[in-house]
Amino acid sequence: MSDVYSSDMHTSDAQPMDECQTNNVSRTLRPVRVGHIEFLNCYPLYYGLGKRSSTTTPFELQAGVPTDLNRMLVAGTIDFGPISSIAYALNHRLLALSRRLSISSRGAVDSIQLVCRRPLEELETIALTPQSATSVVLLKTLLRLRYRREVHYSEMRGSSEEELNRCDAVLLIGDQGLEAMYFPLEETIRYDLGVLWNAWTGLPMVYAVWAARADFLRRRSGDLAEVEKELAGAMAYSRGRAAEMVESARGHYRFGRSCLTRYFEVLHYGFEEAYQAGLLRFYQLAHQAGELPEVPALRFIDEMVGEGEMR
């Protein structure tokens, strides 16, 4: 069931509304359908939305792993949400970017781990998580251009332990990546892809962007602006109350206070110019590595509305 939000949820203890209640707030239009990543990295958004709501535009969260949300946005089953940054590059003519939101890091990201049985320079076979698109392309780009390694890749079919019995390494993301960091397997070496990227380029890495469908923007630019503002406000609320957010997250995840505190500190949720530059450099290198057919321009929601393209 989707979680629906609006300003009718006005108390600090507001909870998601049941779908049967949406008619009370939906006016003549359906709620805006917003993707939500089912990983700890999006907990600040969910926590902030549960504590505050100021928009009069109802919206509903539809959860999935990054690759699910990529497909949902392209297919039009959601209108706006976080997608793999590489998915924007592959579908940029259909989409417009938020300036306010991303999931990024400058250096360590903690939750994207290459877990290996041998040093990175000796890898020959790697099992890839099916949950991520950006991390897979980032890894292939790093290995091909930075380390000059041509590796055989396969998709994960079993547990990390099972995959490491047949492959030299396994790529894990999200909560599985964090578990690999804090509950490591014996006799393994871990590489944080955020660290590898920053050591190579000196730039931040953008793993997920927030994007809207251009056809939805044409029809409901005002509603989209309201929802984008609400989501950015929820993120800011949580970041300003980091300690209480960490205590809340401890009730839902197996990670301790120090792990959660560090994780929310290394993640960056804005999309300032330095992060835009990092994303464009990623696209350029992925294209050079043969993992991206072209380097897209970054098209932003506010620019497209301001130019009248959506009228």
pLDDT digits (tens, 9 = 90+) for 158-185: 999 999 999 999 999 999 999 999 999 9
Residue 202 sits at φ, ψ, to 5 deg, of 75, 10
Question: How far apart, in Å, are the Cα atoms of 82 and each of 67, 92, 211, 228, 268?
Answer: 10, 14, 6, 11, 14
Report the CATH superfamily, name and number, of domain 3-105+205-306: Periplasmic binding protein-like II (3.40.190.10)
Residue identified by tokens 């997250």 is 249
pLDDT band at 231 (very low <50, low <70, confident <90, very high): very high
Of 227, 255, 230, 226, nearest to 51 by C-alpha is 230
Distant-in-sequence, close-in-space partners of 68: CB < 8 Å, separation ≥ 6: none
Identical fold for domains 3-105+205-306 and 113-201, yes or no, is: yes
pLDDT, residue 304, reads 82
The domain 113-201 is classified under which CATH number: 3.30.930.10, 3.40.190.10, 3.40.50.740, 3.20.20.80? 3.40.190.10
pLDDT, residue 306, reads 59
Of 178, 167, 170, nearest to 115 by C-alpha is 170
Question: How far apart, in Å, are the Cα atoms of 281 and each of 89, 200, 202, 276, 287?
Answer: 12, 11, 11, 9, 10
pLDDT, residue 34, reads 97
User: pLDDT digit string (tens) for 30-83?
Assistant: 999 999 998 999 999 999 998 876 677 899 999 999 999 999 999 999 999 999
Residues 296-305, mean pLDDT to the nearest whole number: 92
Residue 36's Cβ-count burial label (10 Å; 0-12, 13-18, 19+) is buried
pLDDT, residue 19, reads 35
User: pLDDT digit string (tens) for 277-296?
Assistant: 999 999 999 999 999 999 99
Retrieve residue 109's tokens.
């990201």
pLDDT, residue 56, reads 77
